[in-house]
Amino acid sequence: MSQETEKPGNRKLSQPPVAKNAAAPSPTSTPQKPTPKMPPAKTVVKTPLASTTVRPTANRPVNGRITPTGPKRGYGFEIALGLILAALVIGIIIVLVATSSGNSGKTQTNATTNPANVSNPLTPKNAATVQALVTALNNGQTIVTAAPAAPTPTGAPASSATDPEGLTWPVNGGNPARTRLSPDTLKFPMQKLWENQVGGELQSSPAIANGLAYFGSSNGAIYAVDIQTHQVKWQRNYAPIATSPAVAGGQIYFGTSAGYVYALDALTGQEKWNFPTIEQVLSSPVVANGVVYIGSNLGVFWAIDANTGQKRWSAQIGNANGAGINTSPAVSDGLVFFGSNNGVFYAFPTDNVTTATKPKWTVQLPNGQGILSSPAVAEGVVYFGSEGGKLYAYNVADGAKKWEADLNGPSRSSPAVAHGVVYIGSSDKKVYAFNAKDGSKKWEFATGDAVFSSPAITGDTLLIGSNDTKLYALDLATGQKKWEFATDDIIGSSPAVAGNRVYLTSFDGRLYAFGN
């Protein structure tokens, strides 16, 4: 990001201020001769510009003369300024007291969490359920709160799933299980077809649906770019967006750093509803069977009705200091999977959730390894990486560990699974391929920097970005490089494959499209 700065050469020097005690000449008085010893021009030269803001005190030499002691000057200006500042302080206190008394839900929140972590007041329609949840916080204990009655759906249950023809990529990972496999088959080498620079730093991975590419930016905007004309069809401005949107049922869903989840009309950008999560959202949503699943940095996992924006249920799994949920959930086999910053991995049932519901199973990683890698689920196994430098595989049915593999560094890349192989990036600058059955390593590929991007699979090719600014195309079987393209900044997002095209965002503020 570039920042404009004022060039020193363009600055205008201000004129020296006129002395306040200098008397203006009277029209009827006889002009007095200037004192020869102190010509005005000489005073300007001798007095440094910086010193003109400092008032001399009595009996202190000024320009070689002694100022005689006389009556003290008035302080009317200072007194008036002090009264104004005091009034402003009193006004601010009154506003704060009124805000505190008017938002009882927020007052309760501040009593149980760090006030600095509370980003926004609660909207009235959700204040009661959020306040009840925050009141029940108990660090380290899983608490499930269910809505008194499930909202009546206003439309058919929506899911963010890739179509069989591969024309869409509606969610980061391609489908609710986030396997990152596209039915498209691309030819390499590819070429850049077009780019659109929208500004900000783009960490949000694009979702492709309705002939549009959807993504957020650090500048606070959510964009919909027409993939045929390459122009922005619409944009809406919120708070900085690092999450990747999900598209389902004609709507687009995403979270912001201000602590809200939004639903917009996918074609027009008109806001349908918003839901407060209290803390910033770094988790990307997934939509399955009419429910939006998403985590928040406060350590609360949310299930929100996709049509109405009302809470279906939520689970408080910790606090904002250590158990935030920054991974993006995956849904498969009647369960929703996610990890937390304090190294606990959860499998919650998606149906018939009540206040008595507990996770089907949980796993505590050793040595407090945090989890910032989002899960992928395939053939009854869930895979995810960890900050402890491991890739894990667990049985979906009972949470039994199948295997673990060494990644030689923390991993914030999320795995892709296809044809019996698991692919993932690592902060050790490499991309790895492991046998899905036993975790044995098949191959590795070295990039020029850490790999936080997550892979996408198309045909016999793996696509993945790197902090070395490059997008790589690797052979699935051997890991040999087929093609690469360098952007102008690091790539923290993940490629999307749709309609025989590859779409990618970069920290250089651009959306790229590649094809043949």
> Which sequence spans correspond to the domains of the chain?
181-515
**What are the structure tokens assigned to 54, written together?**
């400092």
Residues in Cβ contact with 242 at an 8 Å cutoff, skipping those fewer than 6 apart: 203, 204, 216, 218, 257, 282
In which residue are the tokens 């667990």 written? 394
Please state the pTM of the whole predicted model: 0.74
- 276 forms beta bridges with 260
Distance CA 81, CA 32 (A): 36
CB 279 within 8 A of CB 298: yes
Counting Cβ atoms within 10 Å, is residue 39 exposed (0-12), middle (13-18) or buried (19+)?
exposed
SS (H, E, C) 295-364: ECCCCEEEEEECCCCCEEEEEECCCCCCCCCCCCCEEECCEEEEECCCCEEEEEECCCCCCCCCCCEEEE
253-269 pLDDT, tens digit each: 999 999 999 999 999 99
Report the range out of 24-28, 92-96, 176-180 with the highest average pLDDT. Answer: 176-180
Confidence of residue 147 (pLDDT cuts 50, 70, 90): low
CB 203 within 8 A of CB 217: no
**What are the structure tokens assigned to 175, written together?**
């489908």
Mean pLDDT of the chain: 79
Q: How many residues does the chain have?
A: 516
Which amino acid appears at position 196 of this protein? N
Which CATH homologous superfamily contains domain 181-515?
A: YVTN repeat-like/Quinoprotein amine dehydrogenase (2.130.10.10)
- Integer distance in angstroms from the first to the last C-alpha of the chain? 31
Q: Which residues of 60-74 are buried (b: 16+ CB within 10 A; e: fewer)?
A: eeeeeeeeeeeeeee
Residue 15 has pLDDT above 80, yes or no: no
Q: Is 79 helix (H, G, I), strand (E, B) or coil?
A: helix
Confidence of residue 174 (pLDDT cuts 50, 70, 90): very high
CB 298 within 8 A of CB 306: no
Residue 216 has pLDDT above 80, yes or no: yes
User: E strands along 38-148, which residues?
Assistant: 61-62, 65-66, 143-146
Nearest alpha-carbon partner for 275 in 261, 265, 258: 261
Confidence of residue 418 (pLDDT cuts 50, 70, 90): very high
Confidence of residue 144 (pLDDT cuts 50, 70, 90): confident
Which amino acid appears at position 304 of this protein? I
Which H/E stretch holds residue 215? strand 212-216
Which amino acid appears at position 417 of this protein? V
Nearest alpha-carbon partner for 173 in 426, 418, 387, 344: 418
pLDDT of residue 97: 38
Nearest alpha-carbon partner for 218 in 171, 282, 263: 282
Which amino acid appears at position 461 of this protein? T
CB 257 within 8 A of CB 279: no
Distance CA 217, CA 223 (A): 8
Lowest mean pLDDT among 78-92, 201-215, 290-304, 497-511: 78-92
Lowest mean pLDDT among 41-55, 106-120, 321-335, 492-506: 106-120
pLDDT of residue 317: 85
Q: Which phi and psi angles does 426 have, rounded to 5°?
A: -145, 160
Q: Residue range 355-360: average pLDDT?
A: 88
